[in-house]
Structure 1
Amino acid sequence: MAGKISKHCKVINIKGRSFLEIDGKRVFSPAYTYNRGRNNPKHPKQAVESGIRIVFINATTKWWSDGSFDTETLNKELNLFSDSPSDLSLLVRFTITTPEDFAEKYPDELVRFAYVPDSQMKNEEYKGGLMHVLPKFASFASDVWHAAGCRYIDAVIDFVRKHPQGHRVIGYMINTGETAEAILWGIQEGLYGDFSQPAVKAFRKWLTHKYGDEHGFQQAYHNRNIRIKDVCPPSLEARSAASFVELRDPEKDLLAIDYDRFQSDMVVDVLIHWHRHARKRLGKSKLLGCFYGYCLWLTGMLNSTQTQGHSALARLLEAPEIDFVTGITTYWKRGPGQPGQYMLPVSSVSLHNKIHWNEDDLRTHLVLSNKNTWSTPEAGVPLNEAGSVGIYRRQFCRSLTDNSQTWYYDIVGGMYDSPGILDEFSKQCRIAEKLRGADMSSCAEVACIVSELTPMFHRQYHGTFHQHRERAADVLCDRITEGLYRTGVPVDWYLSSDLARADFSQYKVVYFFNQVMATDEERSAVEHLKNNGRTLIFLWSAGFLTETKAGSQFSSQLTGIQMSQTILRGPAKIKIIDFTTPVTRELTTVGTIGTDLVYSPLLTIEDKDATVFGIYEWNEAPAAAYKSFPNWTSVVIGTSTAEFELLRGIFRYAGCTIRCEIGNIIMENQSVLGIHTRHPGPLILRLPPKCIGLQDLYSGNRFMKNNGFVHLGDGGKGETRVFLKLRDKTLFQTDNRKQGDK
C-alpha cells in the first residue's frame, strides 16, 4: 500500500434519502459479487470490464478462537483485482462462523436445541430434551464466541491493511448465522431455541432488563411465585401453541412472546458488538454492514420470522456503527412480469441514515434447469437473454427509485456470461453516472407499514409452513403485497416503530400490512395520521393485540370501525357483496378476496355508520367495510388481499394519481419513472401533474404528455423501460450542487 491513498467513503442524506458517497462522489451504479467456489476468475473481471466499480469479495474461510484464519482465500481474492482500474473499490465480505477449535475448547458455549415435549424435559439438569447437532454451533449468547469474533475481525483488518490491494477496500460486511444472513442456527434443520447455559443466562438477563426487577416480572406474568432466576426458555411445544390458535395472548402466552423477542435481540446484540469493535479499529472512513431484517418476506397471516431472529431491525438501525443493511430480492416474485420487491422496509432504513444495499441473485437463462428449485421457470428464471436483461433492468430501476444500492450476485457461477447481460451492466453504469446530480427523493403517494413485533405474537411453525398447511405461501408477505406494486401508484415501506418519526404529509394512503399488534406509541402515532383527508387501510385483525392485552375493542379503537366482541375462527375468504361503492366499483374480475385457510381470530364488523362491501363466505358475517370521517377514511379488510383492482380503487378514491391501469409494475421517484410489463401490448401512462413528459434513459427518445397521458408504444412481457421525468421543455441538466446540499 506504500504511496497509495486509501479510498474514503461515507453515507450522506439528501432530502430524506440515504446515498453512498466515495471520495466525494455520489454513487448509484450497481456493485457485483460472486461465489468464489463456483466462479471462473474471468467472471468478476467481466463485471469490471463492463464498468462496474464496486465488488464485494467473499473472504469467508476457516478460523480459530485466537482470531487466526486461513489467509489464502482473502489473499487470492484481493490479488484477483491487482491489475484492475484504479477507481475500482472493494468490500470484504466475511462470515463469523464457529471457530474450528471452539467445540473442543468450549463445549458449554455451544447451542443446545430442544426437540421433545414439555413432559419429557427436566429443566434442572437439561437432560432428555436437549441434544447437540453437527456441525456444532457457538451459542449466539456466548461471550467467549463474541470475544473470538472480535479477534477474527482484527486479524482480517490487519491483513487487508498490509495487502498491496488494501487501498481499494472501502468497507467490510460482517456476517454470521445460517447462510451468513444472521439467521439463528438450526432453523433450516427444524431445530429451534437455545437451552445452553450462556443462552439461558442471557434470557434471564433480558427479562430483568425488560421488567426492571422481580416485582415487575411477577406483575407482568400475574404470578407471585415465579422467579427470574428459575425461568427457562419455553419448549418447542409451548412455542407452537397459541391461545387464539394462530395468535398468542399477551397474558397467557407471554413467555413464548418474550422468548422470541429475546432471540431477535440476541442476534442484534452480537451484530452491534462486532460492528462497534470494527468501527473503533477503522474510524469513520470505511463502511460497515451486514444482512438483517427480513420483515417483508415470511411475515403475514402466518409467520416464521420469529424463528429467524430477524425481528429487531429497529434496534439495529439505531446503531451508529452500522452504515448499511442488506436484504434480498424476494424469492417468489422475481421473474419476468413480477415486482421483484425487497425484503426490507427501505424508507425506514433511509430514515435512520443507513443504506439499503440489496442482494440481487436472480438466476438468468444461462442456469435454467429443472435440477434446482431456484433455477426453474416456476421460480422466475427467464427463458432467454431478453428476459434476463428485463429483470436485471427492473432491479436497477428499483434501486434508483426506491433509494437502494444493489449488488448483482453471481451465485451459480457464470450466470452473467452473456453479451446482452454484460452490455446491460455497462448501460446501467453510464445511466447511473448521468443521474448523479438528480433529485432522487420520494414521490410516493402510499406509505406501507410493517410491524416487526407482530410476528412475536404468532404461534411458531416448526419445520416449514407447507408441512402443516397447504398453500401457506399465499398468505406470506411477498404474495400478499404483490397487488400493491400493480396498482399504478408508487409506494414506500416503513417499520411501524417509525410511525411517529417519519413525515407522512406527502402520503394520501397509509396501508397497514400486519398491524395485528400495536404498541401504545404506535397507536398514538396512528391517531395523528387521521387527518388531511388521508385514507388508512387495515388488514385482517388489525389492532386486536396490545403488548399486554387482547380484544376486539382495541381493533375498534385503532381502525375507527366498531367490531363485534365475538371472536371467530374460519376460512378468511371474503365475498364482495356491493360492487357500487367508491372502493369496489372498479372490480371487473374479482368477486372474492383472501384465502381459504382457516384463521383465528377473525372479527365481525358491527358499525351502523360503516359501509359494508364484503362478508365472510362461510358464515356471511360482515368482514370488509369503509367509513368516512370528517377528515379521514378508514378501510377494514378482514383478510389478506393481493387483488390490485380493489387496492387501485381505494387509492383512486383517496386521490392518488393512477399511472397505469393494467397491472404493470410502476417504479418512480422525483426524477426517474420505470415500468416493468406484465403482458405484451400498448404502454400508456398517466403522468403526475408537474411532469410534462418522459425521456428514455436508454434510447434517448422523448415522449410528451398529451391530455394527461403519454403513449410509449408497445412492450413485451417482462420488458423494462426506464425514463427521466421531464419537468419543463429543456432536457435534463446535471445538478452540480455540492453533494451535501439539501
Structure 2
Amino acid sequence: MGEPGNAIEVRNGKPQIVIEGRAYAPMAFATLGPSTYVEDGYLRRLGEAGIELFFIHSNLPWLDDPRLDINSLDHNLARLRREVPGARVFLRLNLHPPRAWLEANPDELYRLESGELLHTDYISCFYSWPNMPVYSLVSSKWRADAGEQLRQLLDMVEALPQGDAVVGHFLSAGATSEWIQRGGIGDHGGAFHRHFSDWLRGKYGTVESLCSAWKQPGIDFASAPYPAAKRLAAVRGMDLTAPADDPPTSDLFLGLFANPANRDVLDLHEAAREGIVESIEHFARIVKDHSSGRLLVGAFHGQLLNTRLRRTLLESEHLDFLANPGIYVNRRPGEITDIHCMSDSFLLHNKIYMVEDDVRTHRSPPVVREHYFIRSVDDAVTQMKRDFGRDLCRNLYGWWFDMYDPDAASKVATVDAARNIPSPPHERGTWWYDDPELLGLMKRVQEIARDSLAADCRRCSEIAVVMDERSAGLSLAAHNRMVDWRMSILSRLGAPVDFLYTDDLSDPRMRDYKLYIFPNAWTMDEAQRKSVAGKVRRNGAVSLWMYVAGAHRPDDGSFSAANAAELTGFEFSCHADLIETAFTLSGHDHQAVAGCDAERMHGRFNYEVYRNGVRRPVPGGGPNYQAPTLIVSDPEAEVLGSFAADGSPALALRDWGAWRSVHCATQFMEPELLRALARYAGCHIVCDTDDFVFMNASYLSVHAASSGMKRLSLPRASSVVELYTGSNYGEETRE
C-alpha cells in the first residue's frame, strides 16, 4: 500500500487532492455501469488524454453480484493499471443492503402512515430490483451491519495486488446512490422513530422543554406524536404562482412558509435530514479509522436542503469531499449548469466539492441529445468547456460521467426521466466521450488543470452570497424560487461571486467583502444574528436582504417584523395578504440604482427556466405572488422601488455610516439592478451584458448568453491568453 500522505491541501488558494505528496488535477472519469464494460482501448485513450483519477463501482461483500465483487474489482484494477499506468482510483461503494437483510429486518425499513412497508422498484445506476422494500437511511442496525461489511471490504481491497491504486472511497446509499431517502420525509418505521426520539432528547434535554416547545403537555421523547402527512407537507408552502382562493395564513401555512408555530413539523424534517448526515459521518469514520487516515473519503451530499451539512460534514475530520451532479435545469447553450453547494465554504474547511459533470454529447442517444440541445460535436465541446471553466475558476474538482451502459441501453434509451422509453438498437448511442475531438479537448483541459495547480487561484470576489441551511427547510416553495433566481439571474451579475453559509460569518478564516447578499436568511437564531452583525456592520459594506430576511427566530418560534428589523436595521410592517411581486424603480437618481432602466419591471422571474430532465420550459415574465410581505416603514430609509400593485415600498436603503443596508421585499431582482448595487458597494464589474462570468486570481471564464461582441473589464492589468487557442490579447491589458 502507498505511504501516508493522501489529503486535501489548500495550495495557492486552491484545494487540491494530494496523493503521496503529489497534487492531482481535475478532471476525473467515471462510468454509469461496471468498469468491466469499458473497452480497453477507451481506457487507454482516456489515459493518453491525461485522465489519472478514476471512479470504479464496487459492492460490499453481502451484495452477490459477480460484476461488482472483489474478483471483478481485482480484474478491473489490473486492467486499468495496464491501460493507464499510474492511475489512481476512488471506489464508489454501494452500501445498500441485500434483499435477505431487508426481509430479516422489517423494523429497519421505511413504513407509510398506514403502517405498511413502502415497496418500490429500486433503480440506481445499473441496478434494477423490482418491488423492493426500502431501508431507512437513519437505521442504526443498517449502519452497524453495513459498517462491518465495509471493514471486510477494506481488508479485501488492501490484500489485492493492485490495491495500492485505491486512494479513496466514495460512499453511496439511498435513491440513485445520492443519500436521498426513498419515500421522502414521513417514515413511520421503527428505525426512524428511535432516531427521532434520540434527536428530540438531544435537542430539548428535558421532557418539560419538549412539551413547552411543542405546546403539547403530557408527551415524552419515546412517545412524541408523529405529525400527520398533511401537516408534514406544509413545509412545501402554499402554491402562490397564481392568486389563491384560500387565505394565505392558516394553522398550516404562513403563505409561502410552513407555520413555524408547528415546531413538531419542523423538528421532524430537521431530524430526518440530520440523521442522513450522521450516517455519512458514521461510514466515513470507519474508512478513516481503518486506514489510519490514509484513504480519502467522499459522498454525494451538497444540496442546501441537507441540514447540518455545514455544521457536521464540513467540520468533520473524517470527510474530505462532497459531490453532486450539476443542476438539471437550464442546460442549454447560452446558459449554465449551476451547482448545489456553497463551494467557498468548502475552501474554508479544507474540503473539496466535486461536480459530476455528466455533459451529454453528440454520441448520447437521440432522446438525450434532444433533452440537452446537443446537435453536434461543437455543441458538446461548448458545454464541456463551459462546465470546466466553472470548475477551474471556482476551484472545484469534477469528473466526466460517461453514462453509456451496454447492459442498461438494451432496456432503455437514457437514465434521464426516460427509463421507461424503449430504445431500438440504432438509437442507443455509444460511449459519450470516445471521440477524437472530445478526447483532444480533454487532453487540453487536463493540461490547463495541471498548470492551475501551481497558479495563483485565490478567490478574488468582492461579493459574498450567504445562504442558510435551516431556512431552506422552512419553505420548499420559497427555496425553489430562490434556486431558480440563483441559476438564472444571479449568475448573470457579471462579476465573480463567493458562496458561503450563514455559519461561516463567525469563522475568522472568512474574509471581508464589499457586498453581502442574503437570498434566504428567513430563519436566524440568536448566535447567527450576532455573527451577521459582527461581520457586515463595518467597513462601509452593503448588505442586501431579500424577502423576509430574519423574520423567523427558531429560538422561540416567532415570525415577526421585529425579528427582521433586528437583523436588517429597518423598521417594518408585516402584511399577511397576497401581493403581486412586480415593482418598478422610483429613486432613479440614487447611486444604488444608477444606470438601471426606469421602465423595467423587477420582482418577477423574467427568464424562462428549462427543466432538461422532463424536457419542459417554464415561461418567465408572468405575474408572481407572495405572502407574507415585509414592507419598510422606516422614516430614515430611502425608498428606491415601489410595488406596482399598491405603491408600497419594495426596495429601500438605509445608510448607517459604518454599513449600508438594502432591503428587497421580493425574491427576484434583475441582473442590472444587482450590478448597480454592486457598483454602489465599490465592486468591480467584469461584464455588464448578462453573460455568465467565473473568475479567480489567474483565470477568467465567460459563457455568452447572447451573440455579439463582449467587453470585459479586468480588475487589474494582466497578460491575457486564450487557453484553448493560445491567442494573446495583449500585455498589461485592462479591457
TM-score (norm 2): 0.84
Kept in 1, the 8 Å contact 2:587–2:640? The answer is yes
Query: Does the CA contact (< 8 Å) of 1:62 and 1:69 recur in 2?
Result: no
In structure 2, what is the Cα distance between the partners aligned to 1:479 and 1:412? 32
Q: Is the 8 A contact 2:12 2:455 kept in 1?
A: no
Q: Aligned pair in 2 of structure 1 residues 80, 620: CA closer, same or farther (>3 Å)?
A: farther
Number of the residue aligned with 1:701: 727
1:169-184 residue pairs with structure 2 within 5 A?
169-184=166-181
Kindly provide the CA deviation profile for residues 692-712 of structure 1, in whole angstroms up to 9, marking residues without a partner as x: 331222333322367x742xx
Contact kept, 8 Å, 2:719 with 2:730, in 1: the verdict is yes
Aligned to 1:429: 446
TM alignment of 1:622-661, pairs within 5 A: 622-641=649-668, 643-661=670-688
Contact 2:356 2:400 (C-alpha < 8 Å) held by counterparts: yes
SS in 1 for 2:453: coil
Corresponding residue of 1:594: 604
| Cα pair distance change 1:476/1:135, threshold 3 Å | farther
Residue of structure 1 equivalent to 2:337: 340
1:245 aligns with 2:255: yes
What's the offset of the Cα at 1:57? 0.9
The answer to whether the 8 A contact 2:348-2:510 is kept is no
Partner residue of 1:487? 493
**Is the CA contact (8 Å cut-off) linking 2:57 and 2:68 kept in structure 1?**
no
For 1:571-602, what per-residue CA distance to the aligned partner results, in whole angstroms no more than 9, with x for missing partners? 33333344333233322373232353432211
Deviations 1:536-557 (A, max 9, x none): 1111111110112110111112
Instruction: Note the 1:51-70 alignment, pairs <5 A.
Output: 51-60=50-59, 63-64=62-63, 70=69
Asked whether the 8 Å contact 2:93–2:170 carries over to 1, the reply is yes
Q: Structure 1 residues 480, 594: CA separation in 2 closer, same or farther (over 3 Å shift)?
A: farther
User: Among 552, 559, 562, which residue is 1:545 paired with?
Assistant: 552
8 Å Cα contact 1:102/1:138 also seen in 2: no
Further displaced range: 217-226 or 528-537: 217-226
Aligned partners of 1:136, 1:365: CA distance in 2, in Å? Answer: 38
Q: 1:16 to 1:213 in 2, by over 3 A?
A: farther
Contact 2:14 2:395 in 1 (8 A): yes
2:285 to 276, 280, 299: 276
Flag the 1:473–1:273 CA change in 2: closer, same or farther, 3 A.
closer
Distance in 1 (CA, whole Å) between partners of 2:38 and 2:457 is: 36
Residue type matched to 1:289 in 2?
G
- Does 2:270 align with 1:261? yes
- Return the match for 1:513 from 505, 509, 519: 519
Distance 1:380 1:634 in 2: 41
Q: Once the 2 structures are TM-superposed, how far is the Cα of residue 510 of structure 1 from its aligned partner?
A: 0.6
Residue 595 (structure 2) pairs with residue 575 (structure 1):
no
Describe the superposition over 1:480-530 as per-residue Cα deviations: whole angstroms up to 9, x where unpaired: 443222222101101112111154544111111111111212111121211
1:80 match: secondary structure: helix
Hey, what's the Cα distance between the residues in 1 that align with 2:404 and 2:677? 42
Residue ranges of structure 2 left out of the alignment (5+ in a row): 120-130, 235-251, 406-430, 606-622
Q: For residues 574 and 411 of structure 1, what CA distance do their matches in structure 2 show? A: 45
Q: Read off the aligned partner of 1:347 and give its amino acid letter.
A: D
Partner of 2:9: 12
In 2, distance between residues paired with 1:423 and 1:102?
47
SS at match of 2:83: coil
Residue type of the partner of 2:93?
A: F
3-state DSSP class of the match of 1:262? helix
In structure 1, what is the equivalent of residue 89 of structure 2? 90
- Report what 1:203 is aligned to: 196
Letter in 2 for 1:233: Y
2:118 is matched with 132
Letter in 1 for 2:589: T
- 1:428-464 CA-to-partner distances (Å, cap 9, x unmatched) read 1112222321121110111111111012222x6xxxx
Cα distance in 1 for residues equivalent to 2:31 and 2:63:
25
Distance across 1 between alignment mates of 2:524 and 2:479 = 24
Aligned to 1:394: 386
Q: Distance in 1 between matches of 2:731 and 2:596?
A: 28
Instruction: Name the SS of the counterpart of 2:580 in structure 1.
Output: strand
Quote the residue 2:153 is aligned against: 156
**348-357 or 135-144, larger mean C-alpha shift:** 135-144
- Cα offset for 1:279? 1.2
Cα offsets for 1:133-166 (capped at 9, x unmatched): 2411222232221112112212322232222321
8 A Cα contact 2:287 2:295, kept in partner: no
Paired residue for 2:502, among 485, 496, 503?
A: 496
**For the structure 1 residues 541 and 197, does the alpha-carbon distance in structure 2 shift closer, same or farther, using more than 3 Å as the test?**
same
Q: 1:347-496 maps to which residues of 2 (within 5 A)?
A: 347-367=344-364, 369=366, 371-372=367-368, 375-376=369-370, 379-412=371-404, 414-458=431-475, 475-496=481-502
SS state of the match for residue 18, structure 1? strand
Q: Does the 8 A contact of 2:602 with 2:668 survive in 1?
A: no
Alignment deviations for residues 309-356 of structure 1 (CA, whole Å, 9 cap, x no partner):
555443111111111111221211333222322211111112111111
Would you say the 8 A contact 1:64–1:102 is kept in 2?
no
Compared with structure 1, are the counterparts of its residues 380 and 512 closer, same or farther at alpha carbon in structure 2 (3 Å cutoff)? farther
Instruction: Please tell me whether the aligned partners of residues 539 and 639 of structure 1 are also in contact (alpha carbons under 8 angstroms).
Output: yes
CA distance in 2, matches of 1:5, 1:225: 58
Inter-partner Cα distance in structure 2 for 1:558 and 1:705: 46
Letter in 2 for 1:400: L
Residues 336 and 391 of structure 1 are in contact (CA less than 8 Å); yes or no, is this contact kept in structure 2? yes
Amino acid at match of 2:721: Q
Report how far residue 385 of structure 1 moved. 1.6
* 3-state SS of paired residue (1:108): helix
Return the alpha-carbon distance in structure 2 between the equivalents of residues 685 and 222 of structure 1.
Answer: 58
CA distance in 2, matches of 1:293, 1:104: 32
Residue range with higher mean Cα deviation, 261-270 or 387-396: 387-396
Q: Distance in 2 between the 1:170 and 1:489 partners?
A: 37
How far does the alpha carbon of each residue in 1:657-715 deviate from its partner, in whole angstroms, 9 at most, with x for none? 111121222111112122222222223211113x3331222333322367x742xxxxx
**Range with greater deviation from structure 2 (660-669 or 359-368):** 359-368
Give how far 1:76 is off. 4.5
CA–CA separation in structure 2 for the residues paired with 1:69 and 1:145: 20
- Judge conservation of contact 2:110–2:183 (CA < 8 Å) in 1: no
Give the superposition deviation at 1:566. 3.5
Q: Give the match's secondary structure for 1:594.
A: coil
- Rounded to whole Å, the distance in 1 between the matches of 2:450 and 2:13 is 21
Deviation at 1:427, TM superposition (A): 0.4
Query: What is the distance in 2 between the residues matched to 1:654 and 1:327?
Result: 33
Q: For the Cα contact (< 8 Å) 2:540–2:659, is it kept in 1?
A: yes
Partners of 1:335 and 1:282 in 2: how far apart? Answer: 43
Aligned length: 659
- Unpaired segments ≥5 residues, structure 1: 115-127, 296-304, 466-471, 711-742
Q: Which moved more, 1:169-178 or 1:145-154?
A: 145-154
CA deviation string 1:243-301 (max 9, x = no partner): 31322343x21001100110011101111111111111112221111011211xxxxxx
Contact 1:544 1:555 in 2 (8 A): yes
What residue identity is the alignment partner of 1:286? L
Post-superposition offset of 1:10 = 1.1
Alignment of 1:63-82 (within 5 A): 63-64=62-63, 70-71=69-70, 73-82=72-81
Task: Label 1:614 to 1:477 Cα distance change in 2 as closer, same or farther (>3 A).
Answer: same
1:25 shift after superposition:
2.1
**How far off is 1:219 after superposition?**
2.7
> Which residue among 612, 620, 645 is the counterpart of 1:618?
645
1:452–1:495 Cα contact (<8 Å) kept: yes
Counterpart of 2:636? 609
Question: Counterpart of 2:253 in structure 1: which amino acid?
Answer: S
CA RMSD of aligned residues (A): 2.6
Relative to structure 1, is the Cα distance of residues 404 and 502 closer, same or farther in structure 2, using a 3 angstrom cutoff? farther
Q: Match of 1:220?
A: 213
User: Residue 244 and residue 671 in structure 1: after superposition, are their counterparts in 2 closer, same or farther (change >3 A)?
Assistant: same
Task: Answer yes or no: is the 8 Å Cα contact 2:517–2:545 preserved in 1.
Answer: yes
Question: Partners of 1:563 and 1:45 in 2: how far apart?
Answer: 64
CA gap 1:85/1:76 in 2 versus in 1, 3 angstroms: closer
Change (3 A) 1:85 1:456: closer
1:24 aligned partner, one-letter code: G
